[in-house]
Amino acid sequence: MRHHSTLKGLDPDRHHAADAWAQDVLAKMTLSEKIGQLNQVSEDSASAALVEAVAAGRVGSVLNVVDPTEIDALQAAAGESRLGIPLLVGRDVVHGFEVMAPIPLGLAATWNPAKVEEFCTLTAAAARSRGINWTFAPMLDVCRDPRWGRIAEGFGEDAWLTSVMAGAFVRGLQASPEESLLACPKHFAGYGASESGLDYNRTYISDIELFNVYFPPFAAAFDAGAMTVMPSFSDVNGQPGAGNQRLLKTFLRDQLGFSGVIVSDWAALAELPIHGVAEDGKEAAQLGLNAGVHIDMMSGLYERFVAELVDEDPENLAQLDALVLEILRVKHLAGL
């Protein structure tokens, strides 16, 4: 497979500006503020505790807050923080927002990527009007077992059709600089091949099949400009996605050329000990750093353990800085 690079179609000046801004902000950040950018939390509202955490720089992104007044309050708190770094505000906007389209499997059945792209542009505008700027979509899990319960969220069994729809989805979501919705293709990779169709179950997939079936839709999404990606919950050939260096570094970054932000699935880092690959939460946080996972969704392990890990090994500070720098770049490129 040829190499791919993300953040396509943007003016080089925007890249230079994003790099300069990110470097400048990173140089001013405390350790606590850096760790905060890696911390994503979910609440239904802008509680006093959450507003306080955002204002203190301990939270870099939130999800599932949908009331625009609440989102405005959180962004205001971020703006009043020491460095004024805006929040990523995420939501599963899967097949429309306020106005619904068919489920993704139904969209694939239209064989009409132009209409899918057009609808995603409308969806992005609707979500951005509420303050949401990031969606955990499209789901690009090629699935050939109808027993799998999440098959409706993807585009079916065909890698080529899934790739076509992936490009249309991302282009539509990110079509307008002012009203774009940051796309996050998921779940890298092979989640739809869960053994016996059981959700979260293990997967055993050869490298040839990964590159011929499960990677091409993600490559298409990156070609279309996707700047974030989510690894799978399930283990891929014995190693869970959120702690899988071979999957996230060797394949995703080195061979597919992805250069954006990796966000874990819900509490996926906290599940690494359950998978038996980490002794405890501290080791799970270390595995996440080593694999290059930028944002910890809802496990709180980075918030609890990264400062200690940095104190124990200076190399972890270099890893932390690299992750924070990429988060800041994406925030700037997304126009936040």
At 230, which CATH number? 3.20.20.300
Q: What percent of the chain has pLDDT over 90?
A: 89
Q: Residues 154, 104: contact at Cβ < 8 Å?
A: yes
Per-residue pLDDT of 142-188, as tens digits, reads 999 999 999 999 999 999 999 999 999 999 999 987 789 999 999 99
Confidence at residue 5, expressed as pLDDT on a 0 to 100 scale: 41
- Within a domain: residue 290? yes
Confidence at residue 10, expressed as pLDDT on a 0 to 100 scale: 63
Residue 4: pLDDT over 50 = no
Confidence at residue 98, expressed as pLDDT on a 0 to 100 scale: 87
- pTM of the model as a whole: 0.95
| Over residues 317-324, mean pLDDT | 98
- Within a domain: residue 40? yes
Catalytically active residues, by annotation: 265
Helix, strand, coil abundance in the chain, percent, nearest 5: 50, 10, 40
Interatomic CA distance for residues 36 and 50, integer angstroms: 12
- Within a domain: residue 162? yes
Residue 23: pLDDT over 60 = yes
- Within a domain: residue 278? yes
- Within a domain: residue 146? yes
Domains contained in the chain, number: 1
Radius of gyration of the chain (CA): 19
Domain that includes residue 84, residue range? 12-333
Residue 2: pLDDT over 80 = no
* 3 state SS of 295: strand
Q: Residues 17, 24: contact at Cβ < 8 Å?
A: no
- Within a domain: residue 159? yes
Confidence at residue 7, expressed as pLDDT on a 0 to 100 scale: 47
- Within a domain: residue 246? yes
Q: Which of 117, 260, 251, 122 is nearest to 185 (CA)?
A: 260
Per-residue pLDDT of 30-81, as tens digits, reads 999 999 999 999 987 789 999 999 999 999 999 999 999 999 999 999 999 9
* 3 state SS of 135: strand
- Within a domain: residue 5? no
